[in-house]
């Protein structure tokens, strides 16, 4: 018997690890664009899932943004059925009319469609094909825009969306491996034109930045960036847990915050408490910036009788004695 090509073995192992975290007899769906990453993921899942007693299907989303997208989706679905995946679904989505740029709108439509497909098929988990290279790109982009630790933590291995677990089994697998695995299995991946379109920052990082970095610093850079994300993710999760427990300690009976509990906390924990509480009292999460949290923090650590801190929502936070209290802000005032 011919030896299993190492990239195929590595991807199957990564999928096996992810599937063993799902309940026995569970249904999982692979989100597959037909690109090398998710095609290699789907092929590995088709092989591993039945051997672990899991049922594996595939969903391919047709964004309708490029000529031939319906044909691409149909070809992926045809292949999936021959690979033994079941159920197999092509899901068309409407991207136009959603908020944000075209990339963000397509992503939002895609995740919504994936979650709805999971609900339809009683699948608790959707597998995504993001690789170590995608993670390295994410970390670099986050670093460049000053995203802070939450951005530098990169994409999580697992996250929950509307009751569905989105899992990324290939975060430790290189993109070169998924291409090699497809070639070894005789699969021809679809080449997404967006991946090489220089109007996308991620495509420029992929084509211009990473080759320079690996050329100058060695091929280990990709692993190191992805490992950095993992380390920061673990630290961030620990600080988030401390923040949640400190918030529970600091919350007063009437929903305010007790300043004496906050004062001596490390800044990284205190700002998390303030951020979490601000959301609880109605501040709009997407508009809540580090400036707003800094204004709340000043009410605790740089108190000199200053006025209220205004948050998007609109919410006004006032310090009375040793307590922070929140109220709906009177309409008609523009906040700083």
From the CB of residue 160, how many other CB atoms can be counted at a distance below 10 Å? 9
Task: Give whichever of 192 and 240 is closer to ligand ATP, judged by the CB atom.
Answer: 192
What gap in Å lies between CA 14 and CA 84, rounded to an integer?
Answer: 20
Phi, psi of 24 (to 5 degrees): -60, 145
DSSP alpha helices (H): ranges in the chain?
6-20, 36-51, 69-82, 102-120, 132-144, 149-152, 175-184, 201-204, 210-217, 220-250, 259-263, 267-280, 290-301
34 belongs to an annotated ligand binding site: yes
Instruction: Using CB under 6 A, pick the residue from 10, 15, 26, 36 that binds ligand ATP.
Output: 36
- 33 a known binding residue? yes
Between residues 37 and 310, which has the closer beta carbon with respect to ligand ATP?
37
Sheet containing 164-167: order of strands:
88-92, 55-62, 27-31, 125-127, 164-167, 158-161
Selected binder of ligand ATP within 15, 61, 300, 315 (CB under 6 A): 61
Give the nearest distance from C-beta 20 to ligand ATP in angstroms: 20
Report, in Å, the least distance between residue 127 CB and ligand ATP. Answer: 7
Least separation in angstroms between CB 171 and ligand ATP: 11
- DSSP letter string, 118-155: HHHTT-SEEE----HHHHHHHHHHHHHTT--HHHHT-S
38 binds ligand ATP (CB under 6 A): yes
Shortest Cβ 168–ligand ATP spacing (Å): 8
Query: Which token pair is 241?
Result: 């847990």
Instruction: Using alpha carbons, list the distances in angstroms from residue 119 to 13, 62, 109, 116, 124.
Output: 27, 18, 15, 5, 8
Interacting stretch for ligand ATP, rule CB under 6 A, among 30-38, 156-164, 266-274, 284-292? Answer: 30-38
Q: Which is nearer to ligand ATP, 195 or 301 (CB)?
A: 195
Q: Which of 57, 129, 169, 313 binds ligand ATP (CB under 6 A)?
A: 129
Which residue number is nearest to ligand ATP in terms of Cβ?
A: 35
Among 49, 128, 232, 273, binds ligand ATP (CB under 6 A): 128
Among residue numbers 185 through 204, which ones bind ligand ATP (CB under 6 A)? 192, 195
Among 134, 157, 297, 310, binds ligand ATP (CB under 6 A): 134
CB hemisphere CA count around 73 (13 angstroms): 19
Which residue's CB is nearer to ligand ATP, number 47 or number 190? 190
Q: Is 207 assigned to a binding site?
A: no
37 near ligand ATP, rule: CB under 6 A: yes
Stretch of 56-64, 233-241, 243-251, 308-316 contacting ligand ATP, by CB under 6 A: 56-64
Residue 313 labeled ligand binder: no
- Asked if 56 interacts with ligand ATP (CB under 6 A), we say no
Give the C-alpha separation, 160 to 177, whole Å.
27
Q: Of 169, 227, 157, 133, give the one whose Cα is nearest residue 17.
A: 169
CA–CA dist 118, 124 (Å, integer): 7
Residues that contact ligand ATP, how many (by CB under 6 A): 17
Residue 129 counted as an annotated binding residue: no
How many CB atoms are closer than 10 A to CB 183?
16
CA distance linking residue 282 with residue 224, whole number of Å: 39
Known binding site for ATP: residues?
Answer: 33-38
Known binding site: residues?
Answer: 33-38
Note the residues at the interface with ligand ATP (CB under 6 A): 31-33, 35-38, 59-61, 110, 128-130, 134, 192, 195
């Amino acid at each position: 018997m011919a030896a299993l090509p190492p990239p195929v073995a590595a991807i199957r192992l990564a999928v096996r690890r992810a599937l063993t975290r799902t309940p026995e007899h569970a249904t999982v769906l692979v989100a597959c664009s037909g690109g090398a990453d998710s095609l290699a993921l789907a092929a590995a899942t088709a092989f591993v899932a039945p051997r672990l007693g899991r049922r594996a299907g595939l969903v391919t989303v047709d964004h309708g943004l490029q000529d031939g997208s319906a044909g691409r989706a149909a070809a992926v679905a045809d292949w999936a059925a021959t690979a033994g995946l079941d159920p197999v679904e092509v899901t068309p989505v409407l991207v136009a009319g959603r908020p944000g740029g075209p990339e963000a709108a397509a992503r939002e439509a895609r995740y919504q469609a994936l979650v709805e497909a999971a609900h339809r098929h009683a699948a608790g988990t959707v597998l995504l094909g993001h690789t170590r290279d995608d993670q390295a790109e994410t970390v670099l982009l986050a670093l460049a825009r000053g995203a802070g630790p939450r951005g530098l933590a990169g994409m999580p291995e697992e996250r929950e969306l509307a009751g569905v677990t989105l899992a990324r089994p290939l975060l430790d697998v290189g993109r070169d491996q998924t291409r090699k695995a497809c070639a070894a299995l005789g699969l021809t991946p679809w080449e997404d034109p967006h991946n090489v379109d220089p109007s996308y920052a991620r495509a420029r990082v992929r084509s211009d930045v990473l080759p320079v970095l690996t050329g100058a610093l060695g091929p280990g850079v990709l692993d190191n960036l992805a490992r950095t994300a993992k380390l920061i993710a673990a630290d961030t999760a620990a600080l988030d847990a401390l923040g949640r427990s400190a918030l529970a300690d600091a919350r007063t009976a009437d929903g305010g915050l007790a300043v004496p509990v906050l004062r001596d906390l490390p800044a990284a924990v205190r700002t998390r408490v303030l951020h979490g509480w601000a959301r609880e009292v109605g501040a709009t999460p997407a508009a809540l910036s580090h400036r707003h949290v800094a204004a709340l923090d000043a009410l605790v650590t740089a108190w000199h009788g200053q006025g209220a801190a205004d948050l998007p929502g609109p919410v006004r936070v006032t310090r009375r004695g040793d307590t922070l209290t929140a109220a709906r802000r009177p309409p008609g005032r523009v906040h700083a």
